Amino acid sequence: MPLRPVAAALLAVAALAVPTAAPVPATADTSPSVTGSPAVATSTATAVLAVAAADPVSGTFQQVTGFGPNPGNLAMYTYTPAALPVGAPLVVALHGCLQNATDYYRDSGWTTLADRYGFAVVFPQTGSANNSLSCFSWFDTGKDARGVGEAESVVEMVAKAEALYGSDARRVFATGLSAGGGMTADLLADYPDVFAGGAVDSGLPAHCATTQGAASGCQNNDQGLTPAQWGDKVRAAYPGYTGPWPRVAIWQGSADTVVRPVNATELRDQWTDVQGVDRRPTSTRSLPGGTSQELYADASGRPAVALFTVSGMGHGLAVHPGSGPDQCGATGAYFLDTICSGYYTAQFWGLDGGTGPTSPGLPAPVGLTATPAGASSITLGWQAVNGAASYRVYRDGTQVGTPGGPSFTDTGLTAGTTYGYTVAAVDATGAVGARSATVTATTSGSAPQCFTASNYDQVLAGRATRSGGLTYALGSGQSMGLWNTFVTHTLRQTGPGYFVLADGLC
């Protein structure tokens, strides 16, 4: 049975609630002071100082008051390493629901990285006066848009930090968890002239929802938008802006049931469209903690978008406590010991002193050809790459073969269908190199059928399945929304028992 509107609205907020990770008191008083900034109780200030004294980092964690206009009623906390040089980068780190700045300071790992690489961190803090669960309001157009509410308050904090610490205005970055991740995406869309890059951790696409009631749908369901439509949400946030756009890292656990993995796909579609880069990754590699990294590079080869998927991880921020160079953070509720996401995000942004990741391994193969071999197969060939131990063949972005030499026949295809292929070389260490240019080929025979019907009828016809009141395309598993007679989709059959969403494409 569908949730009643009130219950759905509460779920939209509660689902992104992140409990405090340890018994450090949360901000005790979030009522506005006469200046409009949230007041902080003495007990909370004492707790902040106690955490700072016990933490192994070498810098200073403190509240900054009077940072400027504060229409979002937020509090500002900062961490600055010892001997921070003028002209250093600045990172803004936003906590999740029912967390506060102290939680994120203590557990996220960003202070360790700030010490190592030399940059300041701003920790914005919201409270129960703004939202009953202390969530950043990523779904409220009165709070998450350019020039208003919480978004404007965060930008005022950036200006204050730049004045206090001499931060480089060209190297300001934003990152956030869950609701903080949703607000991060909004900030990148609202203020591309302020932020050079961002990282959305277990979060949502920019401006996915415009009301609290719509938030739950964003968290749980594919919104059915094209990449261009997602990109338009970003472009509409600051009309007339012509770039450059922020570089965006996306972190997602494959087992997240609070913010479903489809949000990572939508974030990728959104920001590759904004950046004008292909949605097929230019390179992939495996990282620790069961993590896969996909990079999406621009024409110069510089990655503009990165997608990190942590296999088996639920909802939370990926951390990996320890003293190793690729370790950071502390475990707790929704701080999950898998991989130090901040370490790889900092590299992607270039905070380690580099320019960000480049495509690893061997160069892209050249001379790729694709020749139809009947109604169900296509034969590929390309020039051998020196140093290649094997190759990876990708059909429409999905790996379909690992031949040892420069040829491959793709079988089991659908008649009358066009497929796009790329190939990458793999060296003896297993590093996957850059992908080739895409070539297409069309199998002979009739084109696949398309079926438009309600979700209810699609399931009855055997073209979709249902689970927990939701509908999923048979074979591809793409989410189609609620199982009822009111939601209609078009499915295209691309193989035996395999259907994909094709709204507006058939």
Domains and CATH numbers, the chain: 5-349 (3.40.50.1820), 369-442 (2.60.40.10), 450-501 (no CATH)
Give φ, ψ of 36 to 5 degrees.
Answer: 95, -5
Tokens of 484: 């009822």
**CB burial class (10 A; 0-12, 13-18, 19+) of residue 312?**
exposed
Report the DSSP pairing between strands 450-454 and 488-495.
antiparallel
Tokens of 16: 């992104």
d(CA 505, CA 450) in angstroms, rounded, equals 9
Contact 314, 335 (CB under 8 A): no
Considering 37, 167, 178, 216, which one is annotated as catalytic?
178
Give φ, ψ of 207 to 5 degrees.
Answer: 55, 40
d(CA 88, CA 184) in angstroms, rounded, equals 21
Of 322, 456, 323, the residue nearest 331 (C-alpha): 322
pLDDT confidence of residue 445: 78
Contact 440, 378 (CB under 8 A): no
Contact 270, 227 (CB under 8 A): yes
Tokens of 88: 């250093």
d(CA 64, CA 75) in angstroms, rounded, equals 8
163's CB contacts (< 8 A; 6+ apart) are none
The H or E element that residue 230 is part of is: helix 227-237
Of 279, 281, 261, 282, the residue nearest 270 (C-alpha): 279
pLDDT confidence of residue 300: 79
- Residue pLDDT tens, the chain, 506 long: 333 333 333 334 444 543 333 322 223 232 222 223 333 333 333 334 333 333 445 699 999 999 999 999 999 999 999 989 999 999 999 999 989 999 999 999 999 999 999 999 999 999 999 998 999 999 999 999 999 999 999 999 999 999 999 999 999 999 999 999 999 999 999 999 999 999 999 999 999 999 988 999 999 999 999 999 999 999 999 999 988 999 999 999 999 999 999 999 999 999 999 999 999 999 999 999 999 999 999 887 889 999 999 999 999 999 999 998 899 999 988 999 999 999 999 999 999 876 554 444 577 788 999 999 988 899 999 999 988 999 999 888 778 999 999 999 999 988 888 888 889 888 887 777 777 878 889 888 776 689 999 999 999 999 999 998 999 999 888 999 999 999 999 998 877 788 999 888 77
Which residue shows structure tokens 């953070």? 329
Of 106, 94, 103, 104, the residue nearest 53 (C-alpha): 106
- Alpha carbon of 484 to those of 454, 476, 488: distances in Å? 7, 20, 9
pLDDT confidence of residue 361: 58
By three-state DSSP, how is residue 480 classified? strand
Is 323 an active-site residue?
Answer: no
**DSSP assignment letter at 500:** E
Give the chain's end-to-end CA distance (angstroms, integer). Answer: 32
198's CB contacts (< 8 A; 6+ apart) are 173, 174, 175, 184, 185, 187, 188, 246, 247, 248, 249
Half-sphere exposure of 31 (CA within 13 A, CB side): 3
pLDDT confidence of residue 268: 97
365's CB contacts (< 8 A; 6+ apart) are 382, 383, 384, 385, 391, 406, 423, 424, 425, 436
Cα dihedral 186, 189, 193, 197 sign: positive
Strand ranges inside 349-495, DSSP E: 369-372, 378-381, 390-395, 398-401, 407-410, 418-426, 432-435, 439-442, 450-454, 464-467, 470-473, 479-482, 488-495
Three-point CA angle 287, 293, 296, nearest 5°: 155
3-state helix, strand, coil in the chain (%, to 5): 25, 30, 50
d(CA 462, CA 162) in angstroms, rounded, equals 59
d(CA 49, CA 24) in angstroms, rounded, equals 11
